[in-house]
Chains A and B, each alone.
Chain A
Amino acid sequence: MLEKHLICISCPIGCELSAGRESDDSTWKITGNRCPRGEAYALAELTDPRRVVTAVVRSNSPVQPLLPVRTDQPLPKRFIDRLLNHLYTLTVKTPVKCGDVLIDNVENSGVRVIFSCDCEK
């Protein structure tokens, strides 16, 4: 019996999750979650860990010299550092609106980087 302990990051409660698996069985059994998101998080964490990435990019705005951006869904962890290094080289043109797409498909993962604020000028 293989057992792993995780803390769910899906909401502020932070359920303490246990994942158990028989050595000859490839399916994980998740306990300790209070909602379905906990199980989904644990299964993803054990096979393909992902995180929502947030950062800032430089802009040409005189009011907001930096604009916050985020991925529109969790990104596989292995792509995070390369994405950040790329974002820090950019200077974007304003205006932008919340939700505007900055990068359409990060590393062919289907994940987008979007602006997370409005900047009018």
Chain B
Amino acid sequence: MIHLQSCDIAVIGAGAAGLAAAAETAAAGRSTIVIDREELPGGILRQCIHNGFGLTYFKEELTGPEYACRITGLARQAGAELRLGCAVISAVRNADGTFELTLLSAADGVTKLTARALILAMGCRERNRGNLAIPGTRPAGIYTAGAAQKLLNLEGVLPGRRAVIVGSGDIGLIMARRFRWSGIEVEAVIEIMRHPSGLPRNIAQCLNDFGIPLHLEHSVIEIGGRERVEYVDVAPLSDGVPQLERKFRILCDTVLFSVGLIPENELSAELGVELNPATGGAVVDCDCQTSVPGVFAGGNVLHVHDLVDFVSAEAAAAGRAALRYLDGQPAAAKNPVRAGANLKYAIPNYFSPARTTEFSFRPLILSNDATLTAELNGETVWKRRLRHIRPAEMLKAQLPGDLLQQDGELVFNLIQEEVQHA
């Protein structure tokens, strides 16, 4: 006999997104169950022991574990139930519009949970060596930056003694400092782009503080070693092509990859949620509602954020929208939103007339002087001049509802005054 349970709202993932959403829905009196496969709540925050989190969401600078404690406390105090050590192995929408989740845990075996609304908060995964197809042997000592972070910060295992970090994303930069502070040498950080992809302050405090060289416009062309990594070969890039005659060898026993994140949407796909190729996350309206009615998404499962504070804020908004859905309010209108010049994407993918909406963008360019514009049916209804644009930093803009009075297509463009390609 399979145990059955039901609730108003099931939240998948007990990280910075899921807990923020659950705090909203439980505080409003809706029975809320948050499911996570880890034994402790907090998601990836638990292994991010460095500071720099929480400045906007909690108005205070916190470390990852502190942020996890705070956001877990908010969800628990609001009355959300946490089901930990429990994996969602399937999710289906029933004919009556409710959802049935099949759960698997060591404590209870296979159980079923029925929910009237779902909030997707599964976060993202790291891209790895396989995604980059770097040639060479397959020795031990190759990790994603997050896997090395987990070994070092949660399990107390030194992943190696002498490392090269591939990619200049924030996790890799943070790990460069963490390695140095753990007695592990960091020989270099290799980045294929002309500009670092992590935050400037992490270049300053994680590389410059330790004199770690950052090779921009360079690529790892081979990883070598029999049992264990012994070296990487690195070459400068010219128009994206490795200059093999200028290659050089770096001796190391460890290679970390910090080369981007991919929203984790296997369950979303199973539910029939339409995905956006530009983000890897769901297509959503201005209520964070996906193409499947009653399924909402927020945080890194929707699009990869730079800052955890924005993850929580977005998921909290998804939680409030789920409450309106359960109250029987009609779904938001679906007028298309399109990312135009120099923008990789714009979220949400639809706007609703007269609704004040916060949009998020990922810029494709680096510029110190550009204008972000919004055109509704070809007419510019909003613009703002921006002085600091980096592909590593998400742009946000709140458009007041009175500017969006009619149906039609909304197009955002990022028009640069001075040209400098990233």
Contacts and interface: CB of A to CB of B under 8 A. Distances in A.
B418 interface: no
B201 A8 contact: yes
A56 B153 contact: yes
Contacts of A33: none
Contact of A13 (B50, B203, B388): B388
A77 B154 CA distance: 25
Given A12-B199, A54-B63, A66-B155, 19 more contacts: A6-B204, A7-B203, A7-B208, A11-B201, A14-B201, A16-B200, A51-B205, A54-B51, A55-B49, A64-B40, A64-B154, A66-B154, A70-B51, A70-B63, A84-B181, A98-B65, A98-B66, A117-B69, A118-B69
B49 A116 contact: yes
B181 A116 contact: no
B277 interface: no
Interface string A71-84: 00000010010001
A65 B155 contact: yes
A1 interface: no
Contacts of B153: 56, 66, 68
22 contacts: A7-B203, A7-B208, A9-B201, A11-B55, A12-B52, A12-B55, A12-B201, A52-B51, A54-B50, A55-B49, A58-B156, A63-B39, A66-B154, A66-B155, A68-B65, A70-B51, A84-B181, A98-B69, A116-B63, A116-B66, A117-B65, A118-B69
B200 A14 contact: yes
B68 interface: yes
A58 B155 CA distance: 10
B44 interface: no
A117 B66 contact: yes
B306 interface: yes
A63 B63 CA distance: 20
Nearest to A14: B200
B71 to A, nearest CB: 12
Interface in A26-70: 51-56, 58, 63-66, 68, 70
Interface string B135-154: 00000000000000000111
A55 B179 CA distance: 11
Interface of A: 6-14, 16, 51-56, 58, 63-66, 68, 70, 77, 80, 84, 98, 116-118
A63 to B, nearest CB: 7
A6 B204 CA distance: 8
B307 A12 contact: yes
Contacts of A7: 200-201, 203-204, 208
Contacts of A68: 49, 63-65, 153
Nearest to A55: B181
Contacts of B239: none
A14 B156 contact: no
Contacts of A6: 204
Interface string B52-84: 100100000011111011000000000000000
B61 to A, nearest CB: 8
Nearest to A56: B153
Contacts of B307: 12
B152 to A, nearest CB: 8
B96 interface: no
B209 interface: yes
Most buried by A among B39, B68, B201: B201
Contacts of B209: 51, 77
Nearest to B390: A14
Interface string B26-61: 000000000000011000001001111001000000
Nearest to B152: A56
A52 B203 CA distance: 16
A55 to B, nearest CB: 7
